[in-house]
A and B are shown apart, each in its own frame.
Chain A
Amino acid sequence: ETGVTQSPTHLIKTRGQQVTLRCSSQSGHNTVSWYQQALGQGPQFIFQYYREEENGRGNFPPRFSGLQFPNYSSELNVNALLLGDSALYLCASSLPQGSTDTQYFGPGTRLTVL
């Protein structure tokens, strides 16, 4: 176990709805990254938060937004859900240690959009 937790484990939504996913980082880690992993694909970077500020964003539309709280936990919000948003959403926490910092992944939230 990495110490990174995510909730909920599974979620079913319908098109057009909004969803909030949550992540608690490993103790002491101030950086959280979010990834989307479609079935049979590798994770795709959504964005990263460092000390409550967005610190990099992948090729995802603005309806994907996030927050990081003072305790370094984080939320991923997705508005106007599309069928293609169905995926495993992973968060990973880390401590910035140059280019070789290790990311510790949570178990993920499986989102199904009907």
Chain B
Amino acid sequence: KNQVEQSPQSLIILEGKNCTLQCNYTVSPFSNLRWYKQDTGRGPVSLTIMTFSENTKSNGRYTATLDADTKQSSLHITASQLSDSASYICVERGYGGSQGNLIFGKGTKLSVKP
């Protein structure tokens, strides 16, 4: 069972609109939570990393929130642009040595239409 669940699976919005993507995680103990953007056929690019003590972090038009009590995170995209069309992947890291503790969700595929 995937320990990082994302919703929705896919989303279509009009250019200029806002949207929010959701992530629920179950991995414990928790170290940090990351959001990545992955363009089709490309490698993921890091957007934000939040530790247990942080509940919000912004990167331009992207704002991630974290609720460690409910084990939920969201990624809010403001004033969407056509270039925002991509998959957005939620990643949790548990405690431990190697990057093998990164657990990736399946992603939300966002399409921004003109």
* Chain A contact residues, CB within 8 Å of chain B: 2, 4, 31, 33, 40-45, 47-48, 50, 55-58, 88, 90, 92, 94, 99-108, 110
Contacts and interface: CB of A to CB of B under 8 A. Distances in A.
The A interface, classified by DSSP as helix, strand, loop or mixed, is strand
A56 B97 contact: yes
A43 B105 CA distance: 8
A50 B32 CA distance: 21
A74 B107 CA distance: 27
B25 interface: no
Nearest to B105: A42
Interface in B69-114: 89, 91, 93, 95, 97-100, 102, 104-107
Contacts of B107: 42
Given A44-B104, A100-B51, A2 B43 contact: yes
Enumerate the 5 nearest inter-chain pairs by beta-carbon distance, A residue then B residue, closest first: A56-B98, A105-B43, A42-B104, A56-B100, A99-B31
Given A41-B106, A42-B104, A99-B31, A56 B43 contact: no
Given A99-B31, A107-B42, 16 more contacts: A2-B45, A33-B98, A40-B106, A42-B106, A43-B44, A45-B102, A48-B99, A55-B98, A56-B99, A56-B100, A99-B32, A99-B51, A100-B51, A102-B49, A103-B102, A106-B43
Interface residues of B, number: 25
A105 B2 CA distance: 22
Interface of B: 2, 4, 31-32, 41-46, 49, 51, 89, 91, 93, 95, 97-100, 102, 104-107
13 contacts: A4-B43, A33-B99, A42-B89, A42-B106, A56-B98, A56-B99, A57-B100, A99-B51, A100-B51, A101-B99, A103-B46, A107-B41, A108-B42
Contacts of A99: 31-32, 51, 93, 95
Given A33-B99, A48-B99, A108 B41 contact: yes
